[in-house]
Amino acid sequence: MIRVPVDPHFQALLAQEDTDGDRRITVRDGGPRSYALEGYTVQGTYALANLLQELALAQEAGQTWLELDPQLLEEPPTRRISRAIRERCWQGLTRRLDLNSLETVLHDPKLAGPPRLYLPADDPRSHAYYAECGAEVVRLPRQITPEFVLSINQKPGLLGLAVAEEPLPYVVPGGRFNEMYGWDSYFIGLGLLHDGLFDLARDMLTHQLYQIRHYGQVLNANRSYYLTRSQPPFLTRFLKAILDHGPMPLDWVQQVLRTAMHEYEHVWVGGPRLTPTGLSRYLGQGIGMPPETEPGHYDSVLRPHAERVGLPLPEFERAYLLRQLDCPELDAYFVHDRTVRESGHDTSYRLEGRAANLCTVDLNSLLYAYEVDLAELLERYGEQAGFPKVEVWRGRAARRRQQIFDLCWDEQAGQFFDYDFLQRDRTHYQSATGLWPLWAGLATPQQAERVVAGSTLEKGGLAASSQASRGRLGPTRPPRQWDYPYGWAPHQMMAWEGLTRYNLGADAWAERWLRMMTRNAVDFNGLIPEKYDVVEASHEVFAEYGNVGADFEYITREGFGWTNASYQIGLDLLSAEQRAALDQLAGQ
């Protein structure tokens, strides 16, 4: 143990080793990679970055001196990364809509405007709690229509979540996403459960029940401009994960089951999301251009229409947002665009311009899982009056499975593809979502083997699509972040679960992803970002929104929600030998 004066070493270490001035120590810096620390020599990028992190934490805590075990600077990276996620990142991502933190949480980095909180009409507890909060509080109408949501797009705000005695906590993805997201929450919940944060995971599910009850669906996220769209449904699988980690009161479980059945009936298989095929589709139901995207995102889409009517692009965009222009072609485009966002895969050439026409493999695999899960859970916890019985759910699952085989399975290609119900044909666009039937357990063993053999597995893990399906890029066809060569944590985690189910070597796939994550964390100051280029096994991703979580100073305090979870869960799939090999990356 050595006693270190914090500020002098913090400043001296940065001056010597952070040669590019980004307040991190990485392989890109040109320092000597050797630093004298109170009689102890710290060598190598990894150890130096760890020293910077320890000094930053001590400085943040107001410490003048740091009692430091030098061995901590050489901590095996798998242990250090996992410990950082467990002890620091989950806390850094946790939010609560209480009166003390309301102003901070209400801030929306995606849009300008004063802090504003929207509350459901039928939740008196929330209205009482926020009565004297100091922010603008708006009561939503009992019936929320696309027209109403359009009317408040210029007055964005956060949507209230569940309040018990106090508002319940929740976990955000990170970075610019400072609200609770739909499908992110399931994967984050798996990470929380893995790391012993059972109550926080349960609260996340409780918030989703609240959203269904008061907003009609699990929302894309709890911001006002997301009120007209959901995200991939994982409610029953989230419940099962919680029950796998501990018992819950019977009345709470039955409440979740009733809510899940209501969501299934009213969101996914009722109304416009059900197609004539019997399979379901995503369908974002807002009006016009989504307001939450970054400036310039739609320039290439809007420019031809602006030129046709003779308006400068900014003026045309403003007029279209305010619905001062009649433009049916753009309206049709944005139906698909909002649907892409509901799918969670925003954006991908798999879905662009046709998302609302597709019975996607991913959604229908999730709904098959709902049907199977509900049959199993209702058998275990009791059927609910007014809702379908166990055998009905089993029958629905069997029918959906056969429909997926008939419409989405391509025997010649040995892959599952989305089905365009207007064109009456499969899309033949190869995506990582083609492995979701394995996750759901609906594929036959023979289908599973063929899907895996022809998968989009790359050096750093599963790519979101194949290069051939994505096609050639160019000035008018820019990269999309849910396509080749990019890889995402939820795709990896679902693939691992599917491979495990069919005994097809999940550890080898997990090792690729974790090797990439570990290598990037070792070389780049502990970095844990939103996504990766799995072909180059790199965090350097420049498509669309960049890479959330890659920009920080001194130490990552959040990582990124589902990427954190993938590391924790992936480590459990590795053998001791595979994990030891990852730890050797610190010395390379």
Check if 346 is active-site.
yes
pLDDT at 468: 98
pLDDT at 475: 84
Token representation of residue 572: 């459990």
pLDDT at 465: 98
Q: What is the DSSP letter of 483?
A: S
Give the containing element (helix H, strand E) for 79. Answer: helix 77-84
The strand pair at 116-119 and 136-139 is best described as parallel
- 318's CB contacts (< 8 A; 6+ apart) are none
Contact 561, 184 (CB under 8 A): yes
- Residue 163 pLDDT > 80, yes or no? yes
Give per-residue pLDDT as tens, 194-221.
999 999 999 999 999 999 999 999 999 9
Q: How far is CA 351 from CA 359, 360, 419, 541, in A?
A: 11, 9, 11, 21
What percent of the chain has a predicted confidence (pLDDT) above 70?
Answer: 100
pLDDT at 322: 84
Q: Please report which confidence band the pLDDT of residue 85 belongs to, taking 50, 70 and 90 as the band edges.
A: very high
pLDDT at 112: 77
- Residue 6 pLDDT > 80, yes or no? yes
Give per-residue pLDDT as tens, 402-429.
999 999 999 999 999 999 999 999 999 9
Give per-residue pLDDT as tens, 108-143.
888 777 889 999 999 999 999 999 898 999 999 999
pLDDT at 178: 87
Give per-residue pLDDT as tens, 500-515.
999 999 999 999 999 9
pLDDT at 543: 86
What is the mean pLDDT of the segment spanning 542-565?
92
pLDDT at 292: 86
- Residue 545 pLDDT > 90, yes or no? no
- Hey, is 206 helix, strand or coil? helix
Q: Please report which confidence band the pLDDT of residue 461 belongs to, taking 50, 70 and 90 as the band edges.
A: very high
What percent of the chain has a predicted confidence (pLDDT) above 90?
Answer: 90
Q: What is the mean pLDDT of the chain?
A: 96
Q: Please report which confidence band the pLDDT of residue 240 belongs to, taking 50, 70 and 90 as the band edges.
A: very high
pLDDT at 154: 87
| From 418, 530, 533, 558, the catalytic residue | 530
Give per-residue pLDDT as tens, 270-282.
899 999 999 999 9
- Residue 562 pLDDT > 80, yes or no? yes
Q: Minimal CA–CA distance to 529: which of 564, 495, 500? A: 564
pLDDT at 294: 79
Give per-residue pLDDT as tens, 347-364.
999 999 999 999 999 999
Q: Please report which confidence band the pLDDT of residue 293 belongs to, taking 50, 70 and 90 as the band edges.
A: confident
Peptide bond before 64: cis, by omega within 30 degrees of 0?
A: no
- Residue 558 pLDDT > 80, yes or no? yes
- Residue 259 pLDDT > 80, yes or no? yes
Contact 431, 464 (CB under 8 A): yes
Token representation of residue 280: 């379901």
What is the mean pLDDT of the segment spanning 477-482?
94
Give per-residue pLDDT as tens, 169-202.
999 999 888 899 999 999 999 999 999 999 999 9
What is the mean pLDDT of the segment spanning 40-57?
97
Q: CA 176, CA 458: separation in Å to the nearest integer?
A: 28
| From 17, 263, 346, 523, the catalytic residue | 346
Q: CA 205, CA 328: separation in Å to the nearest integer?
A: 39
Q: Please report which confidence band the pLDDT of residue 74 belongs to, taking 50, 70 and 90 as the band edges.
A: very high
- Residue 588 pLDDT > 80, yes or no? no
Q: Please report which confidence band the pLDDT of residue 314 belongs to, taking 50, 70 and 90 as the band edges.
A: very high
pLDDT at 243: 98
pLDDT at 175: 87
Task: Give me the DSSP letters along 205-217.
Answer: HHHHHHHHHHHSS
What is the mean pLDDT of the segment spanning 381-406?
97
pLDDT at 137: 96
Task: Give me the DSSP letters along 236-300.
Answer: HHHHHHHHHHS---HHHHHHHHHHHHHHIIIIISSGGGB-TTS-B-------SS-TTSPTTTTHH
